[in-house]
Structure 1
Amino acid sequence: MSGCWPSWPACGDPESGCPWDLRQTWETIVPHTLEEAYEVADAISRRDFEAVRGELGDLLLQVVFYARIAEEEGRFDIHDVARTLAEKLVRRHPHVFADVRYDSEAEHHAAWELEKARERVEAGEGRGHLDGVALALPALTRAVKLQKRAARVGFDWDRPGPVLAKVLEEFDELRAEIEADAPEARLGDEVGDLLFSVCNLARHLGVDPEAALRGTNARFEDRFRFMEQALAAQGRRLEDADLQELDGLWEQAKQK
């Protein structure tokens, strides 16, 4: 992202501003916004709070950037963004900013969801129970959100056991398609069903599947690098080892 945050108005000046900044649109900034959000998550997962500070600044720049484009188009500005956020926080927290009291966390959560549903209707997002779940979310995260919406109307299991059985059922269906030499599109459908059911199991276990997979990715990287380094110490490359030796190094990495 552009390093122009300390003097943003000058960077966006049509005459003397940063050429990269001046070329950007709503659409071109979106990939950078997603990247910066993931970099914040990565820095937090590493407990590197100096990096968190910097990454939060980069993410904040995205907000300022969008607001500046909107201001130039006569839509809104950064003050409107902050004001809208403040109003939303007050509206969704009547137990903090008004005299409303909830007798339980479940009652509080139900009121929160009811208010969000009302906001979606006012925004013209529809009245369906699955409306408003952003398409741009990571697929694992979106799967969990869809499942939570369905659970609100009782379309859900009440314990993990049946969900695990569903995972195994989907696994067996995928295996049957593989053995039947099914076309790629069919295999894709079955893999998707399996992933969706695994997300549902994670939800019932109180596990965030996106975070769980990030952790697995990190462990895979650590173990793979261990294998690279172990072979490099012998003057060899991964390509020089057979699968049996690589499996042995992998087990060493797991134990380490």
Structure 2
Amino acid sequence: MKVSSSIFSKLLFIAKKPFRQIPSNNLSSCSSCLLESQHFSTQPSEECNNPMSRIKSILSKRGFDINPENLHAVDLNESSLIRILTHLFHESSNAELALHFFKLSEHCIGSLQSHKSVCKMIHILVSGNMNHVAVDFILNLVRDSVSKEVSVDVLLKLVYETHSHRMVFQTVCSMLLHCCIRENKVDPAFELTCQMKSFDMFPSVGVCHSLLRALLGLNMAWDFLDRMMRQGIHLNVSIATLFVDMFCR
């Protein structure tokens, strides 16, 4: 494992100053770093107390003759479901309303929705500041893709095809990377960072830290650290400690 002399010298410099002040956001947990979203604000409205009538009202305005209380007779294919979810969120700015319909549709069809439909729901959840729910969706998506041997580049393609806002897309990509690491899928996680480069994006600082920790065991951490520094992510005590601990083993 070849170590860049410039990186190594910076690590030593930081190690000599263990009490160097670090911005608090760099010390946040991985989830808190990537789960902070300000893309849209979810309105604390009364419509969630009676979601059925609100859903029916929105869909009728959009030309959908759908009764949410009787979806069994409706052909909810992938395309129509994605359009409905999009309309519900755009009309109400309430991700809970779209989530309610999504769960209802799964209950009515008696099976899980497609990966593409799930990706659209994830974007809506992140846009509506329901990132904790989005992480659960992504974790299940990663686990299901592993069982069905769906590659991470296919998942990224679906995430890209269903996005509407770049900031949301970047947040979802960081979440996807974070979930791959949680599921111990380090190689796919590293591959995902390479794929993100084609969109001129890089993971959040917290996710980078988690990936560095995972890559240390595969002797791939130095290369990724070099990429982080070229992206303008500066070394700090937390990152330096990872490498110092490795050398002290």
| Pairwise same-fold verdict (TM > 0.5) | no
* TM-score when normalising by structure 1: 0.26
Which structure shows the higher helix fraction? Answer: 1
Q: Larger RCO: Structure 1 or Structure 2 (Cα < 8 Å, ≥ 6 residues apart)?
A: 2
Q: Give TM-score scaled by structure 2 length.
A: 0.27
